[in-house]
């Protein structure tokens, strides 16, 4: 491999003039929820005339990324970018920032007379980093560690608040467009900031549908309701510090995770319910989803939950209003 120095002066008129093409942008987070992206670069050697012969092409990073680690294969020009996890975790849902790094390609060639010449080009690679939504990035605790919800499948095992490990029986996701969120404000997600539920939970910002119930604990629960922990719909926590409706109108995905019983999953460390097949939940599901559920729970009467009881007492709105913020 030729050791290419970084170019400091313009090439002469008869020199090589390489030109980089290919994938010059990447995406982190967003609907995919990924923390690594790759792309393939190409190079036109820019030979002055057909008599020249390319002898070497070498790719390298000339300017490092600011919020992640970038690398490029020196032989193929395939680049990889991995965002710094702490930086990624600090982003709000829907927040978009950019990072960049610069790739340098050096091309060596022999002239018709047998002399070796070299040329260079650089290309800035731009990475768009978007804070992930609930359906693509919220980490659910499993026996093998936290896993983004979009990577879970039926049969996968998840941990629950009560210490048991359960297999997912069914999982369904739906993306709500920005247009639909604009037309139907009731679908806009509720954002729960880190620590808003008390005890440092959730560990990262958690975004859920307004009706999704999260676990609330504290002396007030026992005093008011005789329970150490209760389930409260996210919309009923609005007004607590750090709990607010996300008005960004960015598309959001909602996932239903169904277990054999109603359980408390651990999402970003905070308790959040699995799908409870009560009347309200059944009413919101599509006909296709209902048909799938009927096949999974064939003995359940139509429109009736196959679950015997809820994992915790579910507070009504007027009851939740009595709870003080932690």
Which is higher by pLDDT, 260 or 165? 165
CA pair distance 261, 164, nearest whole angstrom: 11
What is the per-residue pLDDT across 170-209, written as a single tens digit (0 to 9) for each? 887 777 778 888 888 878 889 999 999 999 999 998 988 8
| Res 123 pLDDT > 70 | yes
Mean pLDDT of 150-162: 92
Which is higher by pLDDT, 284 or 225? 225
- What's the pLDDT at 282? 58
Q: Give bridge partners of residue 109 from the DSSP assignment.
A: 54, 117
Per-residue tokens: 13: 């008129």
Mean pLDDT over each residue of the chain, to the nearest integer = 83
Lowest-pLDDT choice from 47-51, 245-249, 293-297: 293-297
CA pair distance 319, 233, nearest whole angstrom: 11
CA pair distance 48, 185, nearest whole angstrom: 61
- What DSSP assignment string belongs to 61-76? EEE--SSEEEEE-TTT
Q: 107 near 46, Cβ under 8 Å?
A: yes
CA pair distance 36, 159, nearest whole angstrom: 26
In 3-state terms, what secondary structure has residue 233? strand
CA pair distance 71, 25, nearest whole angstrom: 14
Structural domains in the chain, sorted by start? 19-130 (2.60.40), 139-320 (2.170.16)
For tokens 């395939």, what's the residue? 78
What confidence category does residue 301 fall into, taking pLDDT thresholds of 50, 70 and 90?
A: very low
């Amino acid at each position: 491999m030729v050791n290419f120095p970084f170019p400091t002066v313009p090439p002469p008129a008869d020199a090589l003039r390489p030109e980089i093409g290919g994938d010059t942008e990447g995406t982190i987070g967003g609907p995919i929820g990924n923390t690594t992206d790759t792309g393939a670069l190409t190079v036109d050697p820019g030979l002055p005339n057909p008599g020249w012969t390319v002898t070497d092409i070498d790719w390298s990073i000339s300017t490092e990324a600011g919020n992640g680690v970038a690398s490029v294969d020196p032989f193929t020009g395939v680049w990889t970018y991995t965002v710094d996890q702490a930086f990624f975790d600090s982003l709000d849902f829907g927040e978009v920032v950019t990072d960049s790094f610069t790739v340098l390609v050096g091309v060596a060639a022999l002239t018709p007379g047998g002399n070796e010449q070299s040329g260079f080009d650089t290309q800035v690679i731009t990475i768009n980093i978007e804070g992930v939504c609930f359906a693509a990035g919220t980490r659910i605790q499993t026996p093998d560690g936290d896993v983004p919800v979009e990577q879970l499948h039926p049969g996968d095992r998840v941990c629950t608040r009560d210490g048991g490990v359960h297999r997912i029986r069914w999982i369904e996701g739906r993306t709500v467009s920005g247009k639909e969120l604009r037309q139907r404000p009731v679908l806009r997600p509720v954002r729960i900031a880190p620590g808003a539920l008390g005890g440092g939970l959730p560990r990262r910002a958690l975004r859920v549908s307004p009706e999704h119930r999260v676990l609330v604990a504290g002396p007030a629960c026992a005093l008011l309701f005789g329970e150490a922990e209760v389930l409260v719909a996210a919309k009923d926590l609005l007004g607590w510090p750090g709990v607010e409706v996300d008005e960004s109108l960015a598309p959001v995905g909602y996932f239903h995770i169904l277990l054999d019983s109603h359980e408390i999953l651990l999402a970003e460390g905070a308790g959040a319910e699995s799908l409870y097949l009560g009347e309200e939940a059944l009413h919101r599901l599509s006909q296709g989803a209902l048909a799938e559920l009927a096949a999974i729970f064939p003995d359940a009467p139509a429109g009736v939950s196959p679950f015997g009881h809820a994992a915790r007492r579910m507070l009504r709105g007027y009851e939740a209003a009595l709870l003080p913020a932690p």
